[in-house]
Chains A and B, each alone.
Chain A
Amino acid sequence: MILFLRTVLGRAYPRLIGIQREKSWLIFGVFLPLLGVSAYVFIYKALKSPPEFVGFVILGGAMTAYWLNVLWSMATQFYWEKETGNLQLYLMAPTSRMAILMGMAFGGLVSTSIRAAAILIVGSLIFSVHFTVVSWWQLILVFLFTMVALYGLGMLFSSLFLLFGREAWHLSSLLQEPIYFLSGFYFPIKSLGYWVSIGASIVPITLGLDAMRQLVMPSAKWGFLSVDEELGILLVMSIVFVFVAHRALLYMENLARREGRLTIRGQ
Protein backbone atom coordinates (compact mmCIF):
# COMPACT_ATOMS: atom_id res chain seq x y z
CA MET A 1 0.00 0.00 0.00
CA ILE A 2 2.85 2.37 0.89
CA LEU A 3 4.59 1.49 -2.37
CA PHE A 4 1.33 2.16 -4.23
CA LEU A 5 0.89 5.59 -2.63
CA ARG A 6 4.54 6.53 -3.12
CA THR A 7 4.24 5.59 -6.77
CA VAL A 8 1.11 7.70 -7.22
CA LEU A 9 2.83 10.66 -5.62
CA GLY A 10 6.08 10.10 -7.50
CA ARG A 11 4.38 9.95 -10.88
CA ALA A 12 2.03 12.83 -10.09
CA TYR A 13 4.96 15.04 -9.09
CA PRO A 14 6.16 16.03 -12.60
CA ARG A 15 2.65 17.19 -13.45
CA LEU A 16 2.12 19.07 -10.23
CA ILE A 17 5.46 20.81 -10.47
CA GLY A 18 5.11 21.35 -14.21
CA ILE A 19 2.25 23.79 -13.82
CA GLN A 20 4.44 25.95 -11.57
CA ARG A 21 7.46 25.85 -13.81
CA GLU A 22 5.88 26.14 -17.23
CA LYS A 23 3.79 29.27 -17.16
CA SER A 24 2.83 28.96 -20.82
CA TRP A 25 -0.33 27.15 -19.64
CA LEU A 26 -1.78 30.57 -18.87
CA ILE A 27 -1.83 31.27 -22.61
CA PHE A 28 -2.48 27.79 -23.97
CA GLY A 29 -4.68 26.55 -21.15
CA VAL A 30 -6.70 29.65 -20.28
CA PHE A 31 -6.43 32.48 -22.78
CA LEU A 32 -6.81 30.45 -25.99
CA PRO A 33 -9.72 28.31 -24.69
CA LEU A 34 -11.41 31.52 -23.57
CA LEU A 35 -11.20 32.81 -27.13
CA GLY A 36 -12.98 29.67 -28.34
CA VAL A 37 -15.60 30.04 -25.62
CA SER A 38 -16.09 33.71 -26.53
CA ALA A 39 -16.87 32.82 -30.13
CA TYR A 40 -19.78 30.61 -29.03
CA VAL A 41 -20.97 33.21 -26.53
CA PHE A 42 -21.15 35.84 -29.24
CA ILE A 43 -23.02 33.47 -31.56
CA TYR A 44 -25.62 32.80 -28.87
CA LYS A 45 -25.89 36.50 -28.10
CA ALA A 46 -26.32 37.34 -31.78
CA LEU A 47 -29.07 34.73 -32.05
CA LYS A 48 -30.67 36.15 -28.90
CA SER A 49 -30.59 32.72 -27.22
CA PRO A 50 -31.64 32.34 -23.59
CA PRO A 51 -28.99 33.84 -21.26
CA GLU A 52 -28.36 30.43 -19.69
CA PHE A 53 -26.67 29.36 -22.91
CA VAL A 54 -23.72 31.61 -22.11
CA GLY A 55 -23.35 29.72 -18.85
CA PHE A 56 -23.58 26.41 -20.77
CA VAL A 57 -20.70 27.50 -22.98
CA ILE A 58 -18.45 28.65 -20.16
CA LEU A 59 -19.01 25.47 -18.17
CA GLY A 60 -18.42 23.43 -21.32
CA GLY A 61 -15.23 25.38 -22.02
CA ALA A 62 -13.94 24.60 -18.55
CA MET A 63 -14.76 20.92 -18.87
CA THR A 64 -13.06 20.77 -22.29
CA ALA A 65 -9.76 21.14 -20.44
CA TYR A 66 -10.34 17.77 -18.75
CA TRP A 67 -11.17 16.03 -21.99
CA LEU A 68 -8.02 17.38 -23.63
CA ASN A 69 -5.98 16.33 -20.63
CA VAL A 70 -7.38 12.81 -20.76
CA LEU A 71 -6.70 12.51 -24.48
CA TRP A 72 -3.23 14.02 -24.65
CA SER A 73 -1.80 13.44 -21.21
CA MET A 74 -3.35 10.09 -20.36
CA ALA A 75 -4.26 8.16 -23.49
CA THR A 76 -1.15 8.89 -25.50
CA GLN A 77 1.18 9.18 -22.54
CA PHE A 78 2.64 5.67 -22.73
CA TYR A 79 3.57 6.34 -26.35
CA TRP A 80 5.62 9.36 -25.27
CA GLU A 81 7.04 7.48 -22.31
CA LYS A 82 8.13 4.71 -24.63
CA GLU A 83 9.84 7.18 -26.95
CA THR A 84 11.72 8.85 -24.12
CA GLY A 85 12.78 5.56 -22.53
CA ASN A 86 10.79 6.04 -19.33
CA LEU A 87 8.24 3.32 -20.02
CA GLN A 88 10.67 0.45 -19.63
CA LEU A 89 11.88 1.93 -16.36
CA TYR A 90 8.31 2.13 -15.05
CA LEU A 91 7.49 -1.39 -16.13
CA MET A 92 10.69 -2.80 -14.71
CA ALA A 93 9.93 -1.35 -11.28
CA PRO A 94 8.20 -3.60 -8.73
CA THR A 95 5.27 -1.26 -8.40
CA SER A 96 1.68 -1.39 -9.60
CA ARG A 97 1.06 -0.14 -13.12
CA MET A 98 -2.29 1.17 -11.94
CA ALA A 99 -0.43 3.29 -9.39
CA ILE A 100 1.59 4.82 -12.22
CA LEU A 101 -1.58 5.52 -14.19
CA MET A 102 -3.27 6.92 -11.11
CA GLY A 103 -0.28 9.16 -10.50
CA MET A 104 -0.57 10.44 -14.03
CA ALA A 105 -4.32 10.93 -13.57
CA PHE A 106 -4.02 12.63 -10.20
CA GLY A 107 -1.32 15.01 -11.39
CA GLY A 108 -3.30 15.73 -14.55
CA LEU A 109 -6.52 16.26 -12.62
CA VAL A 110 -5.00 18.77 -10.22
CA SER A 111 -3.18 20.76 -12.88
CA THR A 112 -6.22 20.72 -15.18
CA SER A 113 -8.52 21.81 -12.37
CA ILE A 114 -6.45 24.96 -11.98
CA ARG A 115 -6.87 25.67 -15.68
CA ALA A 116 -10.58 24.82 -15.66
CA ALA A 117 -11.18 27.01 -12.61
CA ALA A 118 -9.37 29.89 -14.30
CA ILE A 119 -11.53 29.53 -17.43
CA LEU A 120 -14.68 29.35 -15.32
CA ILE A 121 -13.86 32.35 -13.16
CA VAL A 122 -12.49 34.60 -15.90
CA GLY A 123 -15.28 33.59 -18.33
CA SER A 124 -17.99 34.23 -15.73
CA LEU A 125 -16.56 37.63 -14.90
CA ILE A 126 -16.19 38.75 -18.53
CA PHE A 127 -19.65 37.63 -19.59
CA SER A 128 -21.40 38.35 -16.27
CA VAL A 129 -22.68 34.83 -15.77
CA HIS A 130 -24.18 33.96 -12.42
CA PHE A 131 -24.36 30.36 -11.35
CA THR A 132 -26.84 29.32 -8.65
CA VAL A 133 -25.98 26.01 -7.06
CA VAL A 134 -29.06 23.96 -6.26
CA SER A 135 -27.26 21.30 -4.24
CA TRP A 136 -23.60 21.50 -3.34
CA TRP A 137 -23.26 17.89 -2.30
CA GLN A 138 -24.80 16.69 -5.54
CA LEU A 139 -22.55 19.01 -7.50
CA ILE A 140 -19.47 17.72 -5.70
CA LEU A 141 -20.53 14.11 -6.22
CA VAL A 142 -21.27 14.67 -9.91
CA PHE A 143 -17.90 16.32 -10.38
CA LEU A 144 -16.07 13.55 -8.48
CA PHE A 145 -17.79 10.69 -10.29
CA THR A 146 -17.32 12.41 -13.62
CA MET A 147 -13.62 12.80 -12.96
CA VAL A 148 -13.14 9.23 -11.73
CA ALA A 149 -15.04 7.88 -14.73
CA LEU A 150 -13.31 10.23 -17.17
CA TYR A 151 -9.80 9.51 -15.91
CA GLY A 152 -10.75 5.83 -15.68
CA LEU A 153 -11.56 6.07 -19.38
CA GLY A 154 -8.21 7.80 -19.88
CA MET A 155 -6.47 4.95 -18.06
CA LEU A 156 -8.30 2.50 -20.28
CA PHE A 157 -7.14 4.37 -23.39
CA SER A 158 -3.66 4.46 -21.97
CA SER A 159 -3.68 0.70 -21.55
CA LEU A 160 -5.00 0.15 -25.04
CA PHE A 161 -2.48 2.57 -26.49
CA LEU A 162 0.37 0.74 -24.76
CA LEU A 163 0.86 -1.36 -27.84
CA PHE A 164 0.51 1.45 -30.31
CA GLY A 165 3.14 3.72 -31.68
CA ARG A 166 2.30 6.81 -33.62
CA GLU A 167 -1.23 5.44 -34.21
CA ALA A 168 -2.04 6.45 -30.63
CA TRP A 169 -1.48 10.05 -31.56
CA HIS A 170 -3.82 9.78 -34.56
CA LEU A 171 -6.48 8.09 -32.48
CA SER A 172 -6.43 10.91 -29.99
CA SER A 173 -6.78 13.43 -32.81
CA LEU A 174 -9.69 11.42 -34.12
CA LEU A 175 -11.46 11.45 -30.76
CA GLN A 176 -10.94 15.10 -29.95
CA GLU A 177 -13.34 17.04 -32.18
CA PRO A 178 -16.24 14.54 -32.40
CA ILE A 179 -16.51 14.50 -28.63
CA TYR A 180 -16.73 18.30 -28.55
CA PHE A 181 -19.85 17.81 -30.62
CA LEU A 182 -21.28 14.63 -29.14
CA SER A 183 -20.74 15.53 -25.52
CA GLY A 184 -22.37 18.92 -25.97
CA PHE A 185 -19.51 21.04 -24.76
CA TYR A 186 -21.11 24.18 -26.17
CA PHE A 187 -24.81 23.30 -26.24
CA PRO A 188 -27.25 21.16 -24.22
CA ILE A 189 -26.89 17.51 -25.17
CA LYS A 190 -30.68 17.09 -25.16
CA SER A 191 -30.88 18.97 -28.45
CA LEU A 192 -29.20 16.02 -30.20
CA GLY A 193 -32.17 13.78 -29.48
CA TYR A 194 -32.59 10.86 -27.12
CA TRP A 195 -30.69 8.10 -28.91
CA VAL A 196 -27.71 10.20 -29.96
CA SER A 197 -27.50 11.50 -26.40
CA ILE A 198 -27.61 7.97 -25.04
CA GLY A 199 -24.78 6.98 -27.40
CA ALA A 200 -22.75 10.05 -26.47
CA SER A 201 -23.16 9.19 -22.78
CA ILE A 202 -20.45 6.55 -23.08
CA VAL A 203 -18.08 9.47 -22.57
CA PRO A 204 -18.59 10.36 -18.88
CA ILE A 205 -18.19 14.06 -19.46
CA THR A 206 -21.49 14.10 -21.43
CA LEU A 207 -23.64 13.20 -18.46
CA GLY A 208 -21.35 14.96 -16.01
CA LEU A 209 -21.64 18.22 -17.87
CA ASP A 210 -25.38 17.84 -18.28
CA ALA A 211 -25.87 17.17 -14.57
CA MET A 212 -23.62 20.07 -13.56
CA ARG A 213 -25.53 22.43 -15.84
CA GLN A 214 -28.78 21.36 -14.21
CA LEU A 215 -27.29 21.92 -10.78
CA VAL A 216 -25.82 25.37 -11.39
CA MET A 217 -28.41 26.76 -13.80
CA PRO A 218 -31.76 25.46 -12.52
CA SER A 219 -33.75 27.96 -14.56
CA ALA A 220 -32.68 26.29 -17.83
CA LYS A 221 -34.88 23.32 -18.58
CA TRP A 222 -32.53 21.53 -20.92
CA GLY A 223 -31.50 18.57 -18.82
CA PHE A 224 -31.23 15.22 -20.60
CA LEU A 225 -31.85 12.85 -17.68
CA SER A 226 -32.52 13.68 -14.05
CA VAL A 227 -29.49 14.52 -11.92
CA ASP A 228 -30.03 11.41 -9.79
CA GLU A 229 -30.10 9.17 -12.84
CA GLU A 230 -27.00 10.77 -14.25
CA LEU A 231 -25.26 10.48 -10.89
CA GLY A 232 -26.09 6.77 -10.75
CA ILE A 233 -24.83 6.14 -14.28
CA LEU A 234 -21.63 8.07 -13.55
CA LEU A 235 -21.03 5.97 -10.44
CA VAL A 236 -21.39 2.78 -12.46
CA MET A 237 -19.09 4.19 -15.15
CA SER A 238 -16.47 5.09 -12.54
CA ILE A 239 -16.33 1.53 -11.30
CA VAL A 240 -16.51 -0.08 -14.74
CA PHE A 241 -13.89 2.10 -16.43
CA VAL A 242 -11.33 1.76 -13.64
CA PHE A 243 -11.88 -1.99 -13.45
CA VAL A 244 -11.72 -2.48 -17.20
CA ALA A 245 -8.62 -0.26 -17.39
CA HIS A 246 -6.94 -2.49 -14.82
CA ARG A 247 -7.78 -5.65 -16.75
CA ALA A 248 -6.82 -4.08 -20.07
CA LEU A 249 -3.51 -2.92 -18.67
CA LEU A 250 -2.59 -6.42 -17.53
CA TYR A 251 -3.65 -7.93 -20.83
CA MET A 252 -1.94 -5.36 -23.03
CA GLU A 253 1.26 -5.40 -21.01
CA ASN A 254 1.45 -9.16 -21.35
CA LEU A 255 0.72 -8.94 -25.05
CA ALA A 256 3.34 -6.24 -25.51
CA ARG A 257 5.91 -8.35 -23.64
CA ARG A 258 5.10 -11.29 -25.87
CA GLU A 259 5.30 -9.25 -29.06
CA GLY A 260 8.34 -7.32 -27.92
CA ARG A 261 6.67 -3.94 -28.35
CA LEU A 262 7.18 -2.50 -24.89
CA THR A 263 10.51 -0.99 -25.70
CA ILE A 264 10.49 -0.54 -29.46
CA ARG A 265 10.82 3.13 -30.30
CA GLY A 266 10.13 5.22 -33.35
CA GLN A 267 7.18 3.10 -34.50
Chain B
Amino acid sequence: MSHSWAIETENLVRIYKVKHKRGDAESAPFKALDGVNSQVGTGELFGLLGPNGAGKTTLIKILTTLLLPTSGTARVDGVDVAANPQEVRRRINMVSGGDTCGYGLLTVEENLWMFTQFYGLDNKTARERIGKMLEIVGLQDKAKSKSYQLSTGQKQKMNFARGFLNDPKILFLDEPTLGLDVQTSRVLRKFVKQWVRERPGRTLLLTTHYMAEADELCDRVAIINQGKILACDTPANLKKRLQGASVFKLHVTPLEQTELFSDLPGVSNFSGHRRNGHTELNFILDDENTLVKILSAVQQSGAHLISLDKHEPTLEDVFIDLVGKSLSEIEEQTGSVS
Protein backbone atom coordinates (compact mmCIF):
# COMPACT_ATOMS: atom_id res chain seq x y z
CA MET B 1 0.00 0.00 0.00
CA SER B 2 3.05 2.23 0.20
CA HIS B 3 2.52 3.57 -3.33
CA SER B 4 -0.55 5.52 -2.29
CA TRP B 5 1.64 7.88 -0.24
CA ALA B 6 4.15 10.33 -1.59
CA ILE B 7 6.03 10.13 1.69
CA GLU B 8 5.65 7.52 4.37
CA THR B 9 7.64 6.82 7.51
CA GLU B 10 7.25 3.99 9.97
CA ASN B 11 8.78 4.08 13.44
CA LEU B 12 11.59 6.21 12.14
CA VAL B 13 14.39 6.66 14.64
CA ARG B 14 17.61 8.57 14.24
CA ILE B 15 20.20 8.64 16.98
CA TYR B 16 23.31 10.78 16.76
CA LYS B 17 26.43 9.97 18.68
CA VAL B 18 27.49 13.27 20.17
CA LYS B 19 31.21 13.36 20.66
CA HIS B 20 32.39 15.11 23.75
CA LYS B 21 35.52 17.15 24.12
CA ARG B 22 38.85 15.39 24.34
CA GLY B 23 39.29 13.50 27.55
CA ASP B 24 35.66 12.41 27.72
CA ALA B 25 35.64 8.84 26.53
CA GLU B 26 31.87 8.51 26.66
CA SER B 27 29.75 9.72 23.82
CA ALA B 28 26.17 10.52 24.69
CA PRO B 29 23.60 9.50 22.10
CA PHE B 30 21.07 12.11 21.03
CA LYS B 31 17.72 10.92 19.75
CA ALA B 32 16.75 13.36 17.00
CA LEU B 33 13.82 11.28 15.77
CA ASP B 34 11.91 9.05 18.12
CA GLY B 35 9.59 6.69 16.27
CA VAL B 36 8.15 9.03 13.68
CA ASN B 37 5.12 7.72 11.80
CA SER B 38 3.79 9.92 9.06
CA GLN B 39 2.07 9.79 5.70
CA VAL B 40 1.94 12.53 3.13
CA GLY B 41 -0.47 12.11 0.26
CA THR B 42 0.39 12.78 -3.37
CA GLY B 43 -0.47 16.35 -4.32
CA GLU B 44 -0.41 17.49 -0.75
CA LEU B 45 1.34 20.53 0.66
CA PHE B 46 2.39 19.19 3.99
CA GLY B 47 3.90 21.20 6.79
CA LEU B 48 6.22 20.08 9.54
CA LEU B 49 6.07 22.56 12.35
CA GLY B 50 8.35 22.63 15.33
CA PRO B 51 11.11 24.51 17.08
CA ASN B 52 14.78 24.29 16.18
CA GLY B 53 16.08 20.92 17.30
CA ALA B 54 12.68 19.24 17.00
CA GLY B 55 13.93 16.84 14.31
CA LYS B 56 12.53 18.52 11.20
CA THR B 57 15.82 18.82 9.35
CA THR B 58 16.89 15.33 10.40
CA LEU B 59 13.67 13.95 8.92
CA ILE B 60 14.24 15.87 5.69
CA LYS B 61 17.84 14.68 5.47
CA ILE B 62 16.67 11.10 5.74
CA LEU B 63 13.98 11.60 3.13
CA THR B 64 16.44 13.23 0.76
CA THR B 65 18.92 10.33 1.17
CA LEU B 66 21.58 12.40 2.91
CA LEU B 67 21.26 10.52 6.16
CA LEU B 68 20.42 6.95 7.09
CA PRO B 69 17.86 6.21 9.77
CA THR B 70 19.05 4.32 12.84
CA SER B 71 15.91 2.18 12.61
CA GLY B 72 12.50 2.24 10.99
CA THR B 73 11.68 2.84 7.35
CA ALA B 74 11.10 5.84 5.15
CA ARG B 75 9.67 5.70 1.65
CA VAL B 76 9.47 8.44 -0.92
CA ASP B 77 7.08 7.78 -3.78
CA GLY B 78 7.01 4.19 -2.59
CA VAL B 79 10.80 3.81 -2.76
CA ASP B 80 12.79 2.96 0.35
CA VAL B 81 15.31 5.75 0.96
CA ALA B 82 17.86 3.47 2.62
CA ALA B 83 17.62 0.56 0.19
CA ASN B 84 17.33 2.46 -3.07
CA PRO B 85 18.55 6.04 -2.66
CA GLN B 86 19.36 6.56 -6.33
CA GLU B 87 15.73 5.92 -7.32
CA VAL B 88 14.58 8.40 -4.69
CA ARG B 89 16.98 11.06 -6.00
CA ARG B 90 15.39 10.97 -9.43
CA ARG B 91 12.11 12.11 -7.89
CA ILE B 92 13.14 14.81 -5.46
CA ASN B 93 14.85 18.11 -4.81
CA MET B 94 15.40 20.16 -1.70
CA VAL B 95 15.91 23.78 -0.75
CA SER B 96 17.32 24.70 2.63
CA GLY B 97 16.56 28.24 3.67
CA GLY B 98 19.59 30.26 4.61
CA ASP B 99 21.76 28.15 2.31
CA THR B 100 23.33 29.28 -0.91
CA CYS B 101 24.63 27.21 -3.79
CA GLY B 102 27.20 27.19 -6.54
CA TYR B 103 30.36 29.19 -7.03
CA GLY B 104 31.01 32.89 -6.69
CA LEU B 105 32.89 33.16 -9.98
CA LEU B 106 29.95 31.86 -11.98
CA THR B 107 27.00 34.00 -12.95
CA VAL B 108 23.56 33.23 -11.56
CA GLU B 109 22.57 31.65 -14.86
CA GLU B 110 25.73 29.56 -15.06
CA ASN B 111 25.36 28.30 -11.51
CA LEU B 112 21.82 27.19 -12.16
CA TRP B 113 22.82 25.64 -15.47
CA MET B 114 25.51 23.63 -13.68
CA PHE B 115 22.91 22.11 -11.36
CA THR B 116 20.59 21.25 -14.25
CA GLN B 117 23.40 19.15 -15.70
CA PHE B 118 23.38 16.93 -12.61
CA TYR B 119 19.79 16.08 -13.52
CA GLY B 120 20.62 15.52 -17.18
CA LEU B 121 18.53 18.40 -18.56
CA ASP B 122 19.26 19.35 -22.15
CA ASN B 123 20.40 22.92 -22.71
CA LYS B 124 17.14 24.18 -24.21
CA THR B 125 14.99 22.91 -21.36
CA ALA B 126 17.53 24.08 -18.82
CA ARG B 127 17.65 27.63 -20.23
CA GLU B 128 13.85 27.84 -20.37
CA ARG B 129 13.40 26.71 -16.79
CA ILE B 130 16.20 28.93 -15.52
CA GLY B 131 14.65 31.97 -17.23
CA LYS B 132 11.23 31.20 -15.81
CA MET B 133 12.47 30.62 -12.27
CA LEU B 134 14.61 33.76 -12.30
CA GLU B 135 11.54 35.72 -13.28
CA ILE B 136 9.52 34.19 -10.46
CA VAL B 137 12.12 34.95 -7.79
CA GLY B 138 12.78 38.39 -9.27
CA LEU B 139 16.37 37.79 -10.27
CA GLN B 140 16.07 38.11 -14.04
CA ASP B 141 18.09 41.32 -14.05
CA LYS B 142 20.85 39.53 -12.12
CA ALA B 143 21.09 36.55 -14.47
CA LYS B 144 24.47 37.67 -15.82
CA SER B 145 25.83 38.84 -12.47
CA LYS B 146 28.48 36.76 -10.79
CA SER B 147 26.99 35.21 -7.70
CA TYR B 148 29.61 36.72 -5.37
CA GLN B 149 28.12 40.09 -6.30
CA LEU B 150 24.70 39.11 -4.95
CA SER B 151 23.33 40.00 -1.55
CA THR B 152 22.61 37.16 0.89
CA GLY B 153 18.91 37.35 0.13
CA GLN B 154 19.54 37.20 -3.60
CA LYS B 155 21.78 34.17 -3.15
CA GLN B 156 18.99 32.50 -1.22
CA LYS B 157 16.58 33.29 -4.01
CA MET B 158 18.99 31.71 -6.49
CA ASN B 159 19.10 28.60 -4.31
CA PHE B 160 15.32 28.58 -4.11
CA ALA B 161 15.12 28.70 -7.92
CA ARG B 162 17.57 25.79 -8.13
CA GLY B 163 15.22 23.53 -6.22
CA PHE B 164 12.53 23.71 -8.90
CA LEU B 165 14.71 23.28 -11.98
CA ASN B 166 14.36 19.52 -12.31
CA ASP B 167 10.59 19.81 -11.78
CA PRO B 168 10.74 17.30 -8.93
CA LYS B 169 7.85 15.03 -8.11
CA ILE B 170 8.42 15.63 -4.43
CA LEU B 171 10.02 18.81 -3.18
CA PHE B 172 11.40 19.41 0.29
CA LEU B 173 11.57 22.96 1.50
CA ASP B 174 13.46 23.28 4.75
CA GLU B 175 12.70 26.70 6.25
CA PRO B 176 12.62 28.26 2.78
CA THR B 177 11.89 31.81 3.89
CA LEU B 178 14.46 31.88 6.67
CA GLY B 179 16.14 35.28 6.74
CA LEU B 180 14.26 36.63 3.73
CA ASP B 181 12.45 39.97 3.79
CA VAL B 182 8.68 40.05 4.16
CA GLN B 183 7.94 40.92 0.55
CA THR B 184 10.17 38.18 -0.88
CA SER B 185 8.79 35.63 1.57
CA ARG B 186 5.28 36.52 0.44
CA VAL B 187 6.20 36.09 -3.23
CA LEU B 188 7.85 32.74 -2.61
CA ARG B 189 4.94 31.48 -0.50
CA LYS B 190 2.53 32.40 -3.27
CA PHE B 191 4.65 30.59 -5.83
CA VAL B 192 4.96 27.48 -3.66
CA LYS B 193 1.20 27.26 -3.31
CA GLN B 194 0.72 27.79 -7.02
CA TRP B 195 3.39 25.21 -7.89
CA VAL B 196 1.56 22.45 -6.03
CA ARG B 197 -1.90 23.45 -7.25
CA GLU B 198 -0.93 23.72 -10.91
CA ARG B 199 0.96 20.47 -11.04
CA PRO B 200 -1.20 17.52 -10.13
CA GLY B 201 0.87 14.75 -8.66
CA ARG B 202 3.51 17.08 -7.23
CA THR B 203 3.98 16.95 -3.47
CA LEU B 204 5.67 19.44 -1.23
CA LEU B 205 6.94 18.97 2.28
CA LEU B 206 7.68 22.20 4.05
CA THR B 207 9.38 22.60 7.39
CA THR B 208 9.03 25.84 9.20
CA HIS B 209 8.92 27.34 12.60
CA TYR B 210 6.80 30.22 11.32
CA MET B 211 3.31 29.28 12.45
CA ALA B 212 1.60 31.72 10.11
CA GLU B 213 3.50 30.28 7.16
CA ALA B 214 2.33 26.76 7.95
CA ASP B 215 -1.21 28.01 8.52
CA GLU B 216 -1.31 29.89 5.24
CA LEU B 217 0.28 27.27 3.01
CA CYS B 218 -0.32 23.79 4.24
CA ASP B 219 -3.12 21.33 3.58
CA ARG B 220 -2.02 19.43 6.66
CA VAL B 221 0.43 20.18 9.41
CA ALA B 222 2.34 17.85 11.71
CA ILE B 223 3.56 19.35 14.95
CA ILE B 224 6.89 17.87 15.94
CA ASN B 225 8.84 18.31 19.13
CA GLN B 226 11.78 16.37 20.56
CA GLY B 227 11.71 13.95 17.65
CA LYS B 228 8.05 13.01 18.07
CA ILE B 229 5.01 13.97 16.06
CA LEU B 230 2.51 15.25 18.57
CA ALA B 231 -0.40 15.96 16.25
CA CYS B 232 -1.13 15.87 12.55
CA ASP B 233 -4.17 17.35 10.86
CA THR B 234 -5.40 20.27 8.79
CA PRO B 235 -4.66 23.66 10.36
CA ALA B 236 -8.40 24.16 10.85
CA ASN B 237 -8.84 20.82 12.61
CA LEU B 238 -5.81 21.41 14.79
CA LYS B 239 -7.25 24.72 15.87
CA LYS B 240 -10.56 23.02 16.60
CA ARG B 241 -8.81 21.27 19.46
CA LEU B 242 -9.11 24.56 21.24
CA GLN B 243 -12.76 25.08 20.38
CA GLY B 244 -14.55 26.35 23.42
CA ALA B 245 -11.34 27.53 25.03
CA SER B 246 -10.48 31.20 25.41
CA VAL B 247 -7.08 32.30 24.21
CA PHE B 248 -5.44 35.39 25.63
CA LYS B 249 -2.10 37.08 25.11
CA LEU B 250 -0.90 39.51 27.76
CA HIS B 251 2.11 41.76 27.65
CA VAL B 252 3.28 42.88 31.09
CA THR B 253 6.33 44.64 32.49
CA PRO B 254 9.21 42.19 33.08
CA LEU B 255 8.33 39.35 35.42
CA GLU B 256 10.90 37.03 36.99
CA GLN B 257 8.52 34.30 38.13
CA THR B 258 5.75 33.19 35.80
CA GLU B 259 5.17 29.67 37.16
CA LEU B 260 2.41 30.87 39.48
CA PHE B 261 0.08 31.31 36.50
CA SER B 262 0.16 27.63 35.59
CA ASP B 263 -1.36 26.67 38.91
CA LEU B 264 -4.31 29.02 38.70
CA PRO B 265 -7.61 27.13 38.47
CA GLY B 266 -9.16 27.41 35.02
CA VAL B 267 -5.84 27.76 33.19
CA SER B 268 -5.70 24.92 30.70
CA ASN B 269 -2.29 25.80 29.36
CA PHE B 270 0.15 28.60 29.80
CA SER B 271 3.45 29.82 28.46
CA GLY B 272 5.45 32.88 29.34
CA HIS B 273 8.70 34.32 28.13
CA ARG B 274 10.62 37.56 27.81
CA ARG B 275 10.31 39.43 24.55
CA ASN B 276 11.58 42.88 23.60
CA GLY B 277 11.96 44.08 27.19
CA HIS B 278 8.64 42.84 28.48
CA THR B 279 7.08 39.52 29.39
CA GLU B 280 4.62 37.82 27.07
CA LEU B 281 2.05 35.56 28.71
CA ASN B 282 -0.06 33.20 26.60
CA PHE B 283 -3.09 31.61 28.23
CA ILE B 284 -5.51 28.97 27.09
CA LEU B 285 -8.42 29.13 29.50
CA ASP B 286 -11.23 26.67 30.09
CA ASP B 287 -13.27 29.48 31.50
CA GLU B 288 -13.00 33.10 30.47
CA ASN B 289 -13.73 34.24 34.04
CA THR B 290 -10.28 33.00 35.03
CA LEU B 291 -8.93 36.16 33.43
CA VAL B 292 -9.89 38.13 36.54
CA LYS B 293 -7.71 35.87 38.69
CA ILE B 294 -4.85 36.24 36.19
CA LEU B 295 -5.02 40.03 36.24
CA SER B 296 -5.10 39.95 39.99
CA ALA B 297 -2.04 37.67 40.06
CA VAL B 298 -0.22 40.04 37.71
CA GLN B 299 -0.98 42.94 40.02
CA GLN B 300 0.18 41.01 43.10
CA SER B 301 3.44 40.11 41.43
CA GLY B 302 4.24 43.80 41.08
CA ALA B 303 4.09 43.85 37.27
CA HIS B 304 1.95 46.17 35.20
CA LEU B 305 -0.28 45.20 32.34
CA ILE B 306 0.80 46.70 29.00
CA SER B 307 -1.68 45.05 26.66
CA LEU B 308 -4.29 42.33 26.62
CA ASP B 309 -5.51 40.57 23.53
CA LYS B 310 -8.14 37.91 23.07
CA HIS B 311 -7.90 36.08 19.77
CA GLU B 312 -9.08 33.07 17.83
CA PRO B 313 -6.86 30.03 18.42
CA THR B 314 -3.79 29.93 16.17
CA LEU B 315 -1.34 27.13 15.46
CA GLU B 316 0.91 28.76 18.03
CA ASP B 317 -1.80 28.19 20.64
CA VAL B 318 -2.21 24.61 19.46
CA PHE B 319 1.52 24.17 19.92
CA ILE B 320 1.34 25.60 23.44
CA ASP B 321 -1.58 23.33 24.19
CA LEU B 322 0.37 20.28 23.01
CA VAL B 323 3.80 21.06 24.34
CA GLY B 324 3.08 23.29 27.29
CA LYS B 325 5.49 25.92 26.02
CA SER B 326 5.52 28.35 23.15
CA LEU B 327 7.82 27.68 20.23
CA SER B 328 9.97 30.72 20.90
CA GLU B 329 10.23 29.75 24.56
CA ILE B 330 11.62 26.35 23.59
CA GLU B 331 14.09 27.91 21.18
CA GLU B 332 15.29 30.30 23.86
CA GLN B 333 15.87 27.39 26.22
CA THR B 334 17.47 24.93 23.83
CA GLY B 335 19.33 27.06 21.33
CA SER B 336 19.26 25.51 17.89
CA VAL B 337 20.12 21.93 17.10
CA SER B 338 18.59 20.46 14.01
- The interface of chain A, by Cβ under 8 A from chain B, is 2-3, 6-7, 9-11, 13-14, 17-18, 21-22, 84-86, 88-95, 100, 254, 257-260, 262-263
Whether A17 lies near B106 (C-beta < 8 A) is: yes
Which among B34-42, B62-70, B275-283, B306-314 touches the partner chain? B62-70
Q: A17-B110, A92-B64 are in contact. Are A9 and B117 (CB under 8 A)?
A: yes
Can you sample 10 A-B contacts with CB below 8 Å?
Answer: A2-B120, A10-B113, A13-B106, A14-B105, A88-B64, A88-B66, A89-B115, A95-B120, A257-B66, A263-B61
Nearest 7 Cβ contacts at the A-B interface? A10-B117, A3-B120, A93-B118, A94-B89, A6-B117, A94-B90, A85-B99
Label chain A's interface by main secondary structure: helix
B185 within 8 A of A: no
Name 20 extra pairs, CB < 8 A, besides A14-B105, A92-B65, A262-B66. Answer: A2-B120, A3-B120, A6-B120, A10-B117, A13-B110, A13-B114, A21-B105, A21-B146, A85-B96, A85-B100, A90-B118, A92-B93, A93-B89, A94-B90, A95-B118, A95-B119, A254-B68, A260-B14, A263-B66, A263-B67
Per-residue CB contact flags for chain B residues 151-167 toward chain A (1 = under 8 Å, else 0) read: 00000000000100000
Give the Cβ gap from B56 to chain A, nearest Cβ, in Å.
14
Q: How far is the CA of A90 from the CA of B64 in the complex (A)?
A: 12
B191 within 8 A of A: no
Q: A3-B120, A7-B117 are in contact. Are A89 and B67 (CB under 8 A)?
A: no
B206 within 8 A of A: no
Residue from A18, A92, A262 in contact with B92 in the complex, judged by beta carbons closer than 8 Å: A92
Q: How far is the CA of A17 from the CA of B102 in the complex (A)?
A: 13
Give the Cβ gap from B196 to chain A, nearest Cβ, in Å.
20
Q: How far is the CA of A43 from the CA of B171 in the complex (A)?
A: 63
Give the Cβ gap from A102 to chain B, nearest Cβ, in Å.
13
Q: How far is the CA of A13 from the CA of B116 in the complex (A)?
A: 13
Q: How far is the CA of A125 from the CA of B77 in the complex (A)?
A: 63
B323 within 8 A of A: no
Whether A260 lies near B67 (C-beta < 8 A) is: yes
Nearest-neighbor residue (CB-CB) of B96 within chain A = A85
